[in-house]
Structure 1
């Protein structure tokens, strides 16, 4: 309570607080039963919502990288822009492939271990991307920043296309 308010206003505020609390009270029957799923229920849930393999995302990123390298090769004939695009694709695809390998090679025993695994491999991925970009900046002559960055962006954004494609095919198979 605010001690600067007059006593009557404090009492009115306390009554409003109690009314709001009573109105928002939820009975035990309003909650769903949180018992563990049976084997059949878990299998049905997995069938309705299959997991996306991280390797599918890596393959999609690699294909997008190849397309961007070809596009930069066609747009800038005779220049080395395709090499910059290839470096941009490699800076995304290889660290993501390493993360996919690291997170899928051994299944986690519990949620905490799975979270720690993802965090560890994400840190490794960030370090590898940073290191590969530093190497590219230092050792690639005539680096084309537009080719490098657009290829990296396209490869990174492919993740969303994989997710959208999954949702589209799921809704088509459901008949919706």
Structure 2
């Protein structure tokens, strides 16, 4: 393999071109379907639903442990301060957008700023909206709802879906 032509032949045998980069190969319809089946996409609405379920569980635990209306409503408001902005983001991201990845990136950044702004506005308004506000209950329910995102991503690799 001291000859340069032998080296070129050995690199092309491994699937790389003369520059050392792997060549681009278009997938057939069957190969693309198999790849999608192997790596299913996760709907943002499932994340919203998982956050809502987690928030309701925190509210139920707060009601069961403390039994105070103020703590329970605070936990509910904390869950809403995460779930509602996330639902707005999911709505914005699932709408059709302009052509190209630049438009998709801009859309994501725009809706993420809207989500953050709504969350901050809801937190500022919490003192006036929630009677007998309990900040610990509100913050605990927010943290639990936010952490559901990570659990959903971990769960994504374990769930298989069948599509017809």
TM-score range, shorter chain: 0.7 to 0.9
Which residue in 1 is equivalent to 2:151? 161
Question: TM-score, structure 1 length as denominator?
Answer: 0.75
Which residue in 2 is equivalent to 1:18? none
Which residue in 2 is equivalent to 1:66? 56
Larger mean CA deviation between 146-155 and 102-111 belongs to 102-111
Task: Determine the C-alpha separation between the residues in 2 that align with 1:59 and 1:145.
Answer: 24
Task: Determine the C-alpha separation between the residues in 1 that align with 2:73 and 2:113.
Answer: 27
How do residues 1-176 of structure 1 correspond to structure 2 at under 5 angstroms?
Answer: 28=18, 30-106=20-96, 108-170=98-160
Question: TM-score, structure 2 length as denominator?
Answer: 0.81
Larger mean CA deviation between 120-129 and 104-113 belongs to 104-113
Task: Determine the C-alpha separation between the residues in 2 that align with 1:50 and 1:138.
Answer: 43
Aligned alpha-carbon RMSD (Å): 2.0
**Structure with more helix by fraction:** 1
Q: Which consecutive residues of structure 1, in runs of 5 or more, have no partner in the other structure?
A: 1-25
Alpha carbons 2:55, 2:144 under 8 Å: kept: yes
Larger gyration radius, structure 1 or structure 2: 1
Larger mean CA deviation between 150-159 and 36-45 belongs to 36-45
Q: Which consecutive residues of structure 2, in runs of 5 or more, have no partner in the other structure?
A: 1-15
Deviations 1:49-81 (A, max 9, x none): 111000000000000000001111111113410
Task: Determine the C-alpha separation between the residues in 1 that align with 2:56 and 2:127.
Answer: 21
Structure 1 residues 78 and 88, CA gap change in structure 2 (3 angstroms): closer
Number of residue pairs matched by the alignment: 146
> 1:29 offset after TM fit, Å?
6.1
Task: Determine the C-alpha separation between the residues in 2 that align with 1:167 and 1:27.
Answer: 33
